[in-house]
Amino acid sequence: MIDLKDMIQRQQNGAMLIEDLQPDEKEILQHYCSLSAQGLLDMGKQRGATINEIIINAMRNGIALGLQLMIENREVK
């Protein structure tokens, strides 16, 4: 089951990790995110998805990856 407090703590920990990056690492990460966003928009356009659908899917996948969520026995952990 998803624990909201745990999710918030993980998000805060991730934000601190990003803040601790060196300036050149932050720039590389920003560039990568920009390329990823453009790729998601292009893929969504090809599939006829709305901007809202693209953003929700990107957020959902990003949250799942960032929080290292997994599904076990049809339950999100």
Residues 29-67 pLDDT 10s: 889 889 988 998 999 999 999 999 998 888 887 777 776
Would the pLDDT of 75 be above 80? no
Full residue range of the structural domain in which residue 62 is found: 4-17+30-76
Q: What is the CA radius of gyration of the chain?
A: 15
Q: Is residue 22 part of a domain?
A: no
Whole-number pLDDT of residue 57 = 84
| Bigger pLDDT: 68 vs 21 | 21
Whole-number pLDDT of residue 27 = 92
**C-alpha angle 23-9-57 in degrees, rounded to nearest 5:** 75
Strand partners, 51: none
Q: Is residue 23 part of a domain?
A: no
Q: Is residue 9 part of a domain?
A: yes
Can you tell me whether residue 37 is helix, strand or coil?
A: helix
Would the pLDDT of 76 be above 70? no
Q: Is residue 25 part of a domain?
A: no
Give the CA distances from residue 69 to residues 22, 37, 56, in Å, rounded to whole numbers and listed in that order: 27, 21, 17
Report the domain count for the chain. 1
pTM: 0.63
